Homo-oligomer: A and B are copies of this chain.
Amino acid sequence: MALRAALRNKSTLSGLLSQWSSCSSNGRVCVSPVLFAQRRNNSTSQKIKVDFDQSTGVAVMRFQSPPVNSLSLDFLTELCISVEKLEMDKSCRGVIITSTQPKVFSAGLDILEMYGKSPEHYREFWRAVQEMWLKLYGSNMVTIAAINGSSPAGGCLMSMTCDYRIMADNPRYTIGLNETLLGIVAPPWFKDTMSNTVGHRQTEMALELGLLYNPSEALKIGLVDQLVPEDQVLTTATQMMSKWLAIPDHARHLTKSMMRKPTIDKLTSNREADIQHFVNFISKDSIQKSLGMYMEMLKKRRG
């Protein structure tokens, strides 16, 4: 868990990680090979399995953190490191993200990281959430979400950072930013990402009501791009990846950066204030109480 510790410790590697973002050029991160080697040695990849096929240039990242691939600090740290490794490997041109857990792609941010912890912990956690979004939304690789289960909140956010979204056509699965249902609020960059995907009006209604869409509804409003039977999600993603990789990389990079840079710049220029805002908000008694009640409800459901 040295890598996680690194992200926690702002004065060392974590500080460097933030700097890497700012020294990226066209989204490709520049980093010293020495540091990278150190980090590779430290990687333990428990929560995410990465299979990179050199022959195709395509990696598949499988989320395998039971029971529901919650975005804990550990998970996010491992995700950021994994994406960064692939990003720096010039032979890797595309990434497919998917889940090994039944019925769920990712349940989103881990509530345990936001409940009853210290301000320092909230700060560290939120920085990791930001980092995950910055790495995925700003990736130069082609990113495809193979959404083979429910994908609420942070799971939906991860999906929306991708270039293309394929969802299992199972009416019991849902996707959406449902933060308001928990009494919390999707931050501006979640909102921007959704607005870039489905437009202002759908985003307004979805966020105010905390809407979770079934696959048909999600396809209708453009929240996902394609529905296929559950057992074809990954193969379809692989086929679609070939189509994307037929485009010259440099032209696609520049185009993707042109589309996304203004949204990314809004967060990078406001990152510390965004963290402070989150810490203040989540530390409120009323919000902690809301989250407590929500977790009680979840326990009863399971019990």
**A164, A255, A290 pick with most chain B CB within 10 angstroms:** A255
Residues from chain B with Cβ under 8 Å of A198 in the complex: 201
- Quote the shortest CB–CB distance from A164 to chain B (angstroms): 7
Q: A197-B201, A258-B191 are in contact. Are A209 and B251 (CB under 8 A)?
A: no
Interface size class of A (residues with CB under 8 A): 35 or more
Which residue in B163, B164, B180, B243 is a CB contact (below 8 Å) of A255?
B180
Q: Across the interface, do B208 and A256 meet the contact criterion of CB distance under 8 Å? A: yes
Residue of B nearest to A191 (CB): B258
Q: Check A184 for interface membership: any CB of B closer than 8 A.
A: yes
Q: Across the interface, do B290 and A209 meet the contact criterion of CB distance under 8 Å? A: no
Q: Across the interface, do B247 and A222 meet the contact criterion of CB distance under 8 Å? A: no
Q: A198-B201, A208-B163 are in contact. Are A185 and B247 (CB under 8 A)?
A: no
Q: Check A286 for interface membership: any CB of B closer than 8 A.
A: yes
Q: A209-B243, A209-B244, A243-B209 are in contact. Are A204 and B259 (CB under 8 A)?
A: yes
Q: Across the interface, do B248 and A205 meet the contact criterion of CB distance under 8 Å? A: no
Residues from chain B with Cβ under 8 Å of A200 in the complex: 195-197, 199, 259
Q: Check A77 for interface membership: any CB of B closer than 8 A.
A: no
Q: Across the interface, do A251 and B183 meet the contact criterion of CB distance under 8 Å? A: yes
Q: Across the interface, do B222 and A201 meet the contact criterion of CB distance under 8 Å? A: yes
Residues from chain B with Cβ under 8 Å of A30 in the complex: none
